[in-house]
Amino acid sequence: MSNLALQLEESMLQEQLYYPNKEALAKLESLYRKGTRVMGEKLSLFYLKELRAELSGFFFLPFPWLMRQIEEAGPVEQGAHSRISGDIRGELYLRFPIETGSKLIRLGMKSWGFRRILFTKKIQESILTETMNLLINTFWATLQERIPIQWALTPPVPVASISKSLKLASKIYSSDHSVLWAEISVQPDLKMDLIFIPMEDALSSFLLSL
């Protein structure tokens, strides 16, 4: 069990945090696991190298808990942001350490035979942008196949600092607003997170649709 899971377990005992239907969350976690596996398959094709992706953590937690964990991790991170509209409204963030971004760039440059050439910075930016698009869209497609509701996703937009973006979002959401946080491990040593922040009471409708 991860440190966050242990902290949440202790918090539930001390603060009696509200958690929705456990059966629905279990179904959603299963979908997340499938989506993560497919993400690994797509990454392997993109980078011409076997990259296995696994869901290493799946948490339903209040927004302040999310912010606390991100602040403890430090500000050195980047990622992408998409908005969700339709029957379910909300925001989806992909977040990873700059170290993971650097490793993805080196992997892409090596896999495709790039050396020291002109426009290297643009190529590196393209590698990360395409990777973020691939990850978010692949994950989203997996959910969309299984959940019979009308919803749409805006194209992912690169964000230099997810933590700053979330701090701005924290001004909108109440202290008891809940989010879904998935920790993803990509073998051999890449780490990233998917953060789903549903608007208003959208999470209840979302879980009922499973």
Report, as an integer, the average pLDDT of 108-126: 77
Q: Which pLDDT does position 75 carry in this prediction?
A: 63
Report, as an integer, the average pLDDT of 139-158: 86
Amino acid at the residue 202: A
Q: Which of 113, 122, 146 is nearest to 35 (CA)?
A: 146
Report, as an integer, the average pLDDT of 140-160: 86
Report, as an integer, the average pLDDT of 168-185: 82
Residue 109 has which token pair? Answer: 């440059």
Q: Which pLDDT does position 119 carry in this prediction?
A: 60
Among 12-16, 64-68, 148-152, 202-206, which stretch is predicted with the lowest mean pLDDT? 12-16
Q: At what angle do helices 98-111 and 120-146 cross, to 10 degrees?
A: 100
pLDDT: which is higher, 195 or 25: 195
Q: Residues 161-177, buried b or exposed e (16+ Cβ, 10 A)?
A: ebbebbeebbeebeeeb
pLDDT beyond 70 at 18: no
Report, as an integer, the average pLDDT of 9-36: 69
- String of DSSP letters for 75-117: S-EEEEEEEEEESS-EEEEEEEEHHHHHHHHHHHHHHTT--S-
Q: Is 173 left (phi over 0), alpha (psi -120 to 50) or beta?
A: beta
Query: Looking at domain 3-208, does it have CATH number 3.40.1550.10?
Result: yes
Segments making up each domain of the chain, as ranges: 3-208
Amino acid at the residue 68: R
